[in-house]
Amino acid sequence: MRAVPTWTWLEGHPALDLANTVKRTGMQEHDLLRSPRDLDSWLDAAALPAPRPETVDEADLAAVIALRDPALRLLRAAVGRGPWLAADVGAVNAVLLAAPEIELVGDAPGARTHQPLGEPAVLPRLLARLAAEVRDAAARPDLAFCDAPGCGQLFYRHRTNQAWCGPPCGNRARVARHGA
Ligand SMILES: [Zn+2]
């Protein structure tokens, strides 16, 4: 049986952890969410803004991919890689509208809590929170794309003009350029 991914590159940002389930080997992209087992391992490893379902099946995987794919395209479009498509906007907004919430004042200065309207099931609630994270991530000026071989990940820049998500990617990109 194929090994489940290790997810060691995830960095604890929900929207990016969702998008970065597509990863490069060399310059070839791979979808790492290909089975409910993959999804189960990702749910354990990723930063989640709401509780995860205890178990997941093929239908749950399809629901996650139905958010992940348009979310990935919009986040890439936000950094100038591809068009901002109305269909993707509609798909992410449909996930938000399926489990709407209001933000309330939290228990410390600057803190907010999220109150769903109604009683959504666990997965739609999680997907709506992830969609909200994607909406917010797409608006961040520090969102960036690492174009290095073996990466192709979205990340948040720590400084302006930062081209790679980290030094190993910068090194790999330089080696690839010298080899070309
Ligand atoms: Zn990188």
33 lies in some domain: yes
| CA-only gyration radius of the chain, Å | 17
Q: Say what the pLDDT of residue 39 is.
A: 98
Ligand 1 centre distance from Cα of residue 150 (Å): 7
The answer to whether the CB of 102 falls within 8 A of the CB of 117 is yes
4 lies in some domain: no
User: Domain count of the chain?
Assistant: 1
Q: Say what the pLDDT of residue 178 is.
A: 87
**Which residues does the chain have with pLDDT short of 70?**
1
Q: Say what the pLDDT of residue 179 is.
A: 80
Ligand 1 centre distance from Cα of residue 25 (Å): 12
Report the C-alpha gap between 52 and 129 in whole angstroms.
11
128: which 2 tokens? 């709506």
174: which 2 tokens? 């330089």
Ligand 1 centre distance from Cα of residue 133 (Å): 21
65 lies in some domain: yes
Ligand 1 centre distance from Cα of residue 23 (Å): 10
171 lies in some domain: yes
3 lies in some domain: no
7 lies in some domain: no
What range does the domain containing 90 cover?
Answer: 14-179
Ligand 1 centre distance from Cα of residue 170 (Å): 7
2 lies in some domain: no
Q: Say what the pLDDT of residue 1 is.
A: 67
Q: Can you tell me whether residue 145 is helix, strand or coil?
A: strand
Alpha-carbon 133 to chain mean position: 9
CATH of the domain at 163: 1.10.3300.10
Q: Say what the pLDDT of residue 2 is.
A: 78
